[in-house]
Structure 1
Amino acid sequence: MTDVLMPRLSDSMEEGLIVTWLVDEGTEISQGEDLVEIETDKANMTFEADGNGLVHIVASEGDSLPVGALIAQLLGPGEEPTAGNDAGLSTTSPASTDHGQAEGNLSPTNPSPAVAASIEPEVEESGDAAQAASSNNSESTDSPGRRVKASPLARRLATDGGVELGALSGSGPGGRIVKADVERAIESRRSEGPPAGTATTTGGKGETEIVEISRLQQTVARRMSESKATIPHFYLSTEIDMGACVTARAGLKESAAEGAVVPSFNDMVVKASALALREFPKANGAWRDGHLELYSRINIGVAVAAQDALVVPVIPDADQLGLAAIATTTRELAAKVRDGSVTPPELSGGTFTVSNLGMFGVTDFNAVVNPGQAAILAVGSIEDRPVVRNGELVPGKMMGMTLSCDHRILYGAEGALFLARVKSMLEEPISLAL
Structure 2
Amino acid sequence: MSEVIMPRLSDSMEEGTIVHWLKASGEAVRRGDEIVEIETDKATVAHEADSSGVLTIVRAEGAVVPIGSPIARIDEEPGTATSPEDGAAPRPEPTAPGRPASASPVARRLAQKLGVDLAAVTGSGPNGRIVRADVEAAARPATPAPAREPEPEPLPEPVPEPEVEVVALSRARRTIAQRMAETKATVPEFTVSMAIDMAEAVSLRRQLTTLAAEAPSLNDMVVKAAALALREHPRANGAYRDGTFELHRRVNVGIAVAVPDSLLVPTVVDADRKPLTQIAAQTRALAAKARDGRLTPDEQAGGTFTVSNLGMFGVTEFTAIINRGQAGILAVGALADVPVVDAGRVTVGTRLTLTLTCDHRILYGADAAAFLARVRALLETPLALL
Q: Which TM bucket (shorter chain)? A: 0.7 to 0.9
1:130-180: CA deviation from partner (whole Å, max 9, x where unpaired): xxxxxxxxxxxxxxxxxxxxxxxxxxxxxxxxxxxxxxxxxxxxxxxxxxx
Partner of residue 274, structure 2 = 321
- Aligned partners of 1:390, 1:356: CA distance in 2, in Å? 32
Partner of residue 362, structure 2 = 409
Counterpart pick for 1:268 among 221, 224, 227: 221
Partner of residue 63, structure 1 = 63
Structure 1 segments (4+ residues) deviating >3 Å: 191-194, 389-392
Work out whether 1:421 is the aligned partner of 2:374.
Answer: yes
Partner of residue 351, structure 1 = 304
- Aligned partners of 1:309, 1:6: CA distance in 2, in Å? 23
Offset at residue 261 of structure 1 (A): 2.5
Partner of residue 42, structure 2 = 42
- Aligned partners of 2:57, 2:379: CA distance in 1, in Å? 56
Partner of residue 7, structure 2 = 7
Secondary structure in 2 aligned to 1:372? coil
- Aligned partners of 1:409, 1:265: CA distance in 2, in Å? 29
Secondary structure in 2 aligned to 1:277? helix
Secondary structure in 1 aligned to 2:272? helix
1:83-109: CA deviation from partner (whole Å, max 9, x where unpaired): xxxxxxxxxxxxxxxxxxxxxxxxxxx
- Aligned partners of 2:60, 2:271: CA distance in 1, in Å? 42
- Aligned partners of 1:230, 1:318: CA distance in 2, in Å? 29
- Aligned partners of 2:226, 2:262: CA distance in 1, in Å? 24
Pairing 1:21-40 to 2, within 5 Å after superposition: 21-40=21-40
CA contact (8 A) 1:261 1:324 kept: no
Partner of residue 103, structure 1 = none
- Aligned partners of 2:155, 2:304: CA distance in 1, in Å? 54
Offset at residue 431 of structure 1 (A): 1.0
1:224-248: CA deviation from partner (whole Å, max 9, x where unpaired): 0010000001000010110000000
Question: Residues 66 and 247 (structure 1 numbering): CA distance in 2 closer, same or farther, change over 3 Å?
Answer: same
Partner of residue 210, structure 1 = 166
CA contact (8 A) 1:8 1:67 kept: yes
- Aligned partners of 1:316, 1:199: CA distance in 2, in Å? 54
Partner of residue 246, structure 1 = 202
Secondary structure in 2 aligned to 1:340? coil
Offset at residue 425 of structure 1 (A): 0.6
1:13-36: CA deviation from partner (whole Å, max 9, x where unpaired): 100000000011110011111100
Secondary structure in 2 aligned to 1:237? strand
**Counterpart amino acid of 2:198?**
M
Question: Residues 69 and 413 (structure 1 numbering): CA distance in 2 closer, same or farther, change over 3 Å?
Answer: same
Counterpart pick for 2:294 among 331, 341, 355: 341
- Aligned partners of 2:320, 2:338: CA distance in 1, in Å? 24
- Aligned partners of 1:391, 1:8: CA distance in 2, in Å? 62
**Counterpart amino acid of 2:264?**
V
How many residues align? The count is 313
Work out whether 1:387 is the aligned partner of 2:343.
Answer: no
Work out whether 1:431 is the aligned partner of 2:384.
Answer: yes
What TM-score, normalized to structure 1?
A: 0.70
Work out whether 1:289 is the aligned partner of 2:242.
Answer: yes
Q: Larger Cα Rg: Structure 1 or Structure 2?
A: 2
Secondary structure in 2 aligned to 1:209? coil
- Aligned partners of 1:432, 1:388: CA distance in 2, in Å? 27
Offset at residue 390 of structure 1 (A): 4.3
- Aligned partners of 1:243, 1:405: CA distance in 2, in Å? 27
Work out whether 1:232 is the aligned partner of 2:185.
Answer: no
Secondary structure in 2 aligned to 1:367? coil
Offset at residue 345 of structure 1 (A): 0.7
**Counterpart amino acid of 1:359?**
M
- Aligned partners of 2:348, 2:189: CA distance in 1, in Å? 34
CA contact (8 A) 1:33 1:48 kept: yes
Greater shift, 69-78 or 384-393, is seen at 384-393
Pairing 1:124-163 to 2, within 5 Å after superposition: none
How many percent of aligned residue pairs carry the same amino acid?
54
Question: Residues 210 and 390 (structure 1 numbering): CA distance in 2 closer, same or farther, change over 3 Å?
Answer: same
Secondary structure in 2 aligned to 1:381? coil
Partner of residue 170, structure 1 = none
Offset at residue 307 of structure 1 (A): 1.1
- Aligned partners of 1:364, 1:193: CA distance in 2, in Å? 54
**Counterpart amino acid of 2:283?**
T
**Counterpart amino acid of 2:170?**
S
1:111-143: CA deviation from partner (whole Å, max 9, x where unpaired): xxxxxxxxxxxxxxxxxxxxxxxxxxxxxxxxx
Unaligned runs of 5+ in 1: 80-190
Work out whether 1:331 is the aligned partner of 2:284.
Answer: yes
